[in-house]
Amino acid sequence: MITLPNNVSLKLKNLAKEKESVRRKLVITARKLAVIAREKEKARRDLVITARQLAVTASEKESTRRKLVITARKLKSLYETLEKKVLNRTKDLEQIRSKSEAILTSIGDGLVVVDKEGKINYINRSFEEMLGWKTKEIIGKSMVQVVPREDVHGTKVSFKERILTQVLSGQKFIADLTNPFYYIRKDKSRFPTSSIVAPVTLNGKIVGAVEVFRDITKEKEIDKAKTEFVSLASHQLRTPLSTVNWYSEMLLTGDAGVVTPSQKKYLEEIYAGNQRMVELVNTLLDVSRIELGTLIIESKPTNIVKLMESVIDEQRPQINEKRIKFLSSFKKNFPLLKTDPKLLRMVMQNILSNAVKYTPDGGKINVHLVLDENKNVLLTISDTGYGIPKDQQSKIFTKLFRADNVIGKDTEGTGLGLYIAKSIVEQAGGNLWFESSEKKGSTFFVTLPLHKPKKKNGYRRSFLNTN
């Protein structure tokens, strides 16, 4: 056994210790390097995964970009196509608008379009020519204020009574053809007019109205000439008719000698036919006098209850013959009216005789005479007769008009009775209207003012005054 010196032995021990320390450090370093290597590998793998994901995202973005490019090209093409269509449609609409405006401008009747407030949006050339206003002067202004309206008596029609106002407030359609009114021009002159007004609707709501009107001066002149001719002809007919009537009565009463039964029958037919002719001539004379303003008015205190009862008594034979259930009621202590009883009787006769004539056997008629809430005379005559077809109700007060459903039931009617009645009532400052349903009956209403209507520029002379 070799014994080393102490100093060598110590050095060897120290060297061994240093080697062990180095070894341990190397082991630790190796372990750290292994950990770092594993972390690097994990990072490398993560980077590989991220790179793959980025590659996929890039591919998707490229695909999306290509799709967007394709979509953009399609949108551009679609936009260009739509733009062309819009341009073509705009041209078409412009042509249609120009054509429509040319048509409206060329219409011979006056035309005006207003908004919901009645302000003028459009007028045509005939409007300008008839009323003297230019488009730039009245666009945006109220039609009712710019163009006043008067009735046949020269009285200005109020805002509420204007048919344009009524249509804008909700009524569907109004034709004012049978009762001409007057429009006032810019120079304050006036001319007779008839018109039709219809609403303009959008989504079920009224947003304005259209009025078409025309100057009927020539028609009025022609109508007046016809009325004068009828009046003249009727006057000339009265003399020979009176002669036929007089001689027929003489023959029937035996004043000119005895006649055989067969001759008497023929004479009775002649007499009855002559009476119908006299009645027709008198009716035509009444119409011409009303229209010419030459109707003679003789007012005096009148008990209208007794007058109505007298008219009922005249119809009593026909009422009984048809077994009509007749009811009447009258207000007690009715005031006396200073009126022309002949004209008022004519109104009552025409309405009641129609009710009796056009009510089937076994029907019902009710007559009421009262004072309404405004202290006006209110006469109501209702029946369960044939009624008036809805599509003909607007014509019922026109001259010579008779509803289709009654022409075959009464061949002798003239179609003048209601026209005369309405003319008389309106000249009295009253109103005549009706409610009717075909096959169910009709109700006619007559209102007459208790107080004397004011004279209107000398045009009207009322036949109804208070006592």
Write down which residue in 80, 106, 132 finishes a domain.
106
Nearest Cα residue to 149 out of 124, 118, 107: 118
* 171 and 263 both lie in a single domain: no
Assign 363 to helix, strand or coil: coil
Task: Please give the Cα distance from 224 to 44 (Å, whole number).
Answer: 115
Residue 151 CA: distances (Å) to CA of 9, 158, 297, 417: 150, 10, 21, 23
* 311 and 459 both lie in a single domain: yes
Write down which residue in 106, 140, 175 finishes a domain.
106
b vs e for 166-203, b when ≥16 Cβ sit within 10 Å of the residue's Cβ? ebbeeeeebebeeebbbbbeeeeeebbbbbbbebbeee
* 141 and 1 both lie in a single domain: no
Instruction: Kindly state the tokens that stand for 119.
Output: 């302000």
* pLDDT value at residue 109: 85
Element (H, E) at 229: helix 217-253
Contact 196, 211 (CB under 8 A): yes
* pLDDT value at residue 119: 92
What CATH number is attached to the domain comprising 169?
Answer: 3.30.450.20
* 314 and 435 both lie in a single domain: yes
**Ordered per-residue pLDDT tens for the chain, 467 residues:** 666 677 777 887 888 888 888 888 888 888 888 888 888 888 888 888 888 888 888 888 888 888 888 888 888 888 888 888 888 787 766 766 666 666 656 677 888 999 999 999 998 888 999 999 998 999 999 998 899 988 877 888 888 778 888 888 887 656 655 566 889 999 999 998 888 888 888 888 888 999 888 888 877 777 666 666 666 666 677 678 788 878 788 888 887 788 888 888 888 888 778 777 777 777 767 766 666 666 677 778 888 899 999 999 989 999 999 999 999 998 778 888 777 888 888 889 989 999 998 999 999 999 999 888 777 889 999 999 999 888 888 888 887 778 877 776 665 667 788 888 888 888 777 889 999 998 899 999 998 887 655 444 333 344 444 33
* 247 and 275 both lie in a single domain: yes
Beta strands 364-371 and 325-330, pairing class:
parallel
The range of the structural domain enclosing residue 21 comes to: 1-106
Domain count of the chain? 4
* 49 and 182 both lie in a single domain: no
What CATH number is attached to the domain comprising 256?
Answer: 1.10.287
* 331 and 359 both lie in a single domain: yes
